[in-house]
Amino acid sequence: MADIVINHRVGTRQGHGGMYNRFDGMPLPWDEHAVTSCSGGLGNRSTGDNFNGVPNIDHTQNYVRKDIIGWLTWLRKSIGFQDFRFDFAKGYAAKYVKEYVEESKPLFSIGEYWDSCSYSSGLDHNQDNHRQRIINWIDETGGLCAAFDFTTKGVLQEAIKGQLWRLRDSQGKPPGVMGWWPSRAVTFIENHDTGSTQRHWPFPSSHVIQGYAYILTHPGLPMVFYDHFYDCGQSMHDQIVKLMEIRKRLDIHSRSSIRILEAKSNLYAAIIGEKLCMKIGDGSWCPNGEEWKLATSGHGYAIWNK
């Protein structure tokens, strides 16, 4: 998977306004007209949010899109990348991502549409507006792109602190993008921006494995963070491997059904695909029926299968 950073691009030489917005001597030798007027260029205004401090690319220019498509096709066919991750997807209209995906034909593509959750005195229980904005972005790509489920991350990292009631919405479904469009929701605990060395929005470190017990048993497309898998000790690594093995063995997939059985302060329990049962939290609980056998357990979580 290639990280496609096409919202902003620092030039090789200063141009209009003293900004580094000329790209002389490069394979894509654009000038200031390829840069949005709101980020120091001579192009049109941005079709999305501005990424401050650097030139933002003007995707309304036909030649810019043609060059980007050529570069993506080169990555795909000549270099051999199969999948694309579109960085800072809020920065330009989703219709351009649709065009880029249609023309370069990656096997899988995903957008980083990182929007702020709704807060008042704390995180609001209802995050429908937040996940709807992510779903709107997916819709505008023609459904060709998945998106990172920032809603699930935001809710889960608050819920895990003794507010597990947050994990059931008013309709009885999971509260993130996963609850509405699971086949396009890439669930995750942490990434290079939210955690790691930057820690802009970190998941509680003492509850990471419970977070994985949630996303690796649920619908959606779960992502495991490199740091957690390789840099947090053998126990964490082995527990994640076990959770992934159970998911694969039971064929839990992005569209698996889910029934939430409990969602209260210290306990969350659900049945997924009618063949996996899980619980997280300190509350004592186990499923009814002798057909359920314990598959694995750890600090604050347990998984059963039939």
Arithmetic mean of pLDDT, 192-201: 93
At residue 59, the pLDDT reads 98
Q: Pick the closest to residue 94 from 57, 136, 39, 148 (CA basis).
A: 136
Arithmetic mean of pLDDT, 161-185: 98
At residue 274, the pLDDT reads 97
At residue 18, the pLDDT reads 94
249-276 pLDDT, tens digit per residue, is 999 999 999 999 999 999 999 999 999 9
At 248, the pLDDT band (50, 70, 90 cuts) reads very high
Evaluate whether 266 touches 284 at the Cβ level (below 8 Å).
no
Other CB atoms within a 10 A radius of the CB of residue 49 amount to 14
At residue 105, the pLDDT reads 98
120-159 pLDDT, tens digit per residue, is 999 999 999 999 999 999 999 999 999 999 999 999 999 9
At residue 221, the pLDDT reads 98
106-118 pLDDT, tens digit per residue, is 999 999 999 999 9
Active site residue ranges: 87, 112
At residue 163, the pLDDT reads 98
pTM metric for this prediction: 0.97
For the chain, the average pLDDT equals 97
Q: Exposed (0-12), middle (13-18) or buried (19+): which is 155, by Cβ within 10 Å?
A: buried
